[in-house]
Amino acid sequence: MSSTKTTYSQVYDVLLEVGLEPSEITSEAALRADLGVDSAELVEIVTRLAPGSKVDGKVLKSVVTVADLVVFLDNLA
């Protein structure tokens, strides 16, 4: 991931790219329940933000909110 942008802003940008509305994207927003992101989309988002990282779908089940996703990605680095 680029060191010039925060992980949150990178996540925010990718969520915009997949078609979410800016007003929907908050750190507290639940990816699945609030934003409608399914498991396959979540894997795709992680892959885009951390290319080359091995993504375990089972581990991603613990990623519930946008903030959880940011922490998960920071821990991959």
Tell me the whole-structure pTM to 2 decimals: 0.89
Number of DSSP helices (H) and strands (E) in the chain, helices first: 4, 0
Which of these, 38, 34, 21, 30, lies nearest to 67 by C-alpha position? Answer: 30
Q: DSSP label at 31? A: T
Q: How far apart are alpha carbons 31 and 11 in whole angstroms? A: 11
Q: Please tell me the predicted confidence (pLDDT) of residue 59.
A: 84
Q: Please tell me the predicted confidence (pLDDT) of residue 4.
A: 60
Q: Please tell me the predicted confidence (pLDDT) of residue 11.
A: 97
Q: Give, for all 77 residues of the chain, the pLDDT tens digit.
A: 545 689 999 999 999 999 999 999 999 999 999 999 998 899 999 999 999 888 877 888 899 999 999 999 998 87
Q: Please tell me the predicted confidence (pLDDT) of residue 76.
A: 85
